[in-house]
Structure 1
Amino acid sequence: MKKQKFKHKNEEEIKAYIAKHQLEAQRTESGLYYQIVKQGEGASPDPDSNITIAYLGYLTNGTIFDQNERLEINLSEVISGWIEGMPYFKEGGEGILLIPSHLAYGKTDYGNIPGGSVLIFDIQLISVS
């Protein structure tokens, strides 16, 4: 029952954020929201791809919890919201992922991210290999 309450709370929080910032994000069946701001022209990653990205991660209140100008990582090693969301991007593309807590760290605190938090990432997909 608690998981459903988190999902509902996160869904409302994401919808409010989208409305406030006038985004045109798409929703997936899992509850992930994404918006491609700049369409890339290269390959799209699959769940086992090595990717190079630049990103800024923050909460809906604007608090930044992580950023990186050039991260090289295998997509299988990240939160499920990224595994699901990154294939919507193409190399050179930029966009936003709005990730409910059940596709991130759940109800558990993770570093400076409070449990149950919606995570927002501004992402630039630099390359896929």
Structure 2
Amino acid sequence: MKYLLSAFFAMTLFISCSSDKEPQKTDYTVENEKEITDYIAKNKLTATRSDSGLYYIINEPGTGAKPTATSNVTVSYRGYYTNGKIFDQSTAAGISFGLNQVIKGWTEGIPYFKEGGSGALLIPSHLGYGPYDYNGIPGGSVLIFDIKLIKVN
């Protein structure tokens, strides 16, 4: 009986811990859209919305090569939430990566710029990390990236 109770307790603990990893909600489309449009209005920004729900702002279009969704690029960036809290940033020298190896918002958004271009991407969660927590980024989060496309490699 003692072993049966121990096994039951262990099973209950395992189930409750594993269910914490599943998102409570999986579709944040409506909330993300409102959060992004409120952020744009509050900060008096002019942004363009793509069919996927990505918003982008081109401060400087750039004059060099234009990447495709599969290009390897070097980008400097600062990533933050709509409340201004920074969650990641590169050095001014940037980082290099393939656009087919990053979140969908970057794969779609970076090709709006040419080399030397800069601006911002406002990414709803379905084009970011979805409903799942990822490296400290809460599931369902809107992500904003100030970016500069340094080079199409």
The interval holding the TM-score normalised by the smaller chain is: over 0.9
Matches within 5 A, 1:28-43: 28-43=50-65
Q: Per-residue displacement from partner, 1:43-89 (whole Å, max 9, x unpaired)? A: 11111111001000001111111000210111111000000111101
2:129 is aligned, of 94, 100, 105, to 105
Q: Per-residue displacement from partner, 1:9-34 (whole Å, max 9, x unpaired)? A: 00000000001111100000010000
- Moved segments of 4+, more than 2 Å: none
2:151 maps to 1:127: yes
1:21 is aligned, of 26, 40, 43, to 43
| Secondary structure, aligned partner of 2:31 | helix
Partner residue in 2 for 1:11: 33
Partner residue in 2 for 1:116: 140
Structure 1: gaps spanning 5 or more residues = none
Q: Distance in 2 between matches of 1:104 and 1:61?
A: 17
Q: Per-residue displacement from partner, 1:89-109 (whole Å, max 9, x unpaired)? A: 110000000000000000100
Structure 2: gaps spanning 5 or more residues = 1-24
2:115 maps to 1:91: yes
With normalisation by structure 2, the TM-score equals: 0.81
Larger radius of gyration: 2
With normalisation by structure 1, the TM-score equals: 0.95
User: Aligned residues, how many?
Assistant: 127
In structure 2, give the amino acid aligned to 1:16: D
Q: Distance in 2 between matches of 1:20 and 1:90?
A: 28
Q: Distance in 2 between matches of 1:81 and 1:120?
A: 10
**Greater helix content:** 2
Shift of 1:3: 4.4
Q: What's the RMSD between the two structures over aligned residues?
A: 0.9
2:93 maps to 1:76: no
Percentage of pairs with the same residue: 59
Partner residue in 2 for 1:45: 67
| Secondary structure, aligned partner of 1:95 | strand
**Greater strand content:** 1
Shift of 1:39: 1.7
